């Protein structure tokens, strides 16, 4: 998903507006990896993201590390689930592709068989017509 970033500095507070969040410059400079994790997480609302961006400057190093660990673990788990989902989806698609090819092969074989039977009937009729004409001569 494309992430269009715009940054502007607001008046006296010096706060930076990054996308729709007011992220203090100190937070952007000190925790760029954590800012990215917070913005990317699927488990937070925008209001919760804003809350974390505002509270980060007063959190202890231990709290920051715990938050980073939680968000990194979440990202890792979601990535793992995505890979498993993609693998399962590929397996299902491959199975259905094989079934579809078998169906098309069977259909083509039946069409060929029907065409051969029709040609045989037409040949037999043509043969009978020729014999009938010879008998009439």
User: pLDDT digits over 44-77, tens only?
Assistant: 999 999 999 999 999 999 999 999 999 999 999 9
Give the side-chain half-sphere CA count within 13 A for 5. Answer: 8
Q: Is residue 79 part of a domain?
A: yes
Domain contains 132: no
In a domain, 118, yes or no: no
Establish if 110 belongs to a structural domain.
Answer: no
* Dist CA 13 CA 53 (whole Å): 15
Residue 20 lies in a domain: yes
Q: Is residue 99 part of a domain?
A: yes
H-assigned helices in 3-60: 25-30, 32-40, 46-55
Has residue 121 been placed in a domain? no
How many domains, in total, are found in the chain? 1
Q: Is 13 a member of any domain? A: yes
Task: Read off the pTM.
Answer: 0.56
Q: Which residues contact 54 (CB under 8 A, 6 or more apart)?
A: 22, 24
Domain that residue 64 falls in:
7-104
DSSP assigned state of 58: G
pLDDT single digits (tens) 75-118:
999 999 999 999 999 999 999 998 999 999 999 999 999 999 99
């Amino acid at each position: 998903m494309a992430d269009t970033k715009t940054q502007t500095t607001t008046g006296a507070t010096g706060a930076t507006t990054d996308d729709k969040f007011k992220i203090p410059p100190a937070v952007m400079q000190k925790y760029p990896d954590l800012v990215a994790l917070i913005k990317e997480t699927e488990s937070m609302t925008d209001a919760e993201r804003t809350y974390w961006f505002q509270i980060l400057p007063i959190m202890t190093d231990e709290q920051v590390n715990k938050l980073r660990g939680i968000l990194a673990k979440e990202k890792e788990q979601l990535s793992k689930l995505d890979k498993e989902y993609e693998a399962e989806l590929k397996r299902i698609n491959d199975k259905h592709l094989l079934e579809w090819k078998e169906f098309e092969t069977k259909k083509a074989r039946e069409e060929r068989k029907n065409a051969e039977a029709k040609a045989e009937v037409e040949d037999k009729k043509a043969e009978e017509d020729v014999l009938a004409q010879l008998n009439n001569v």
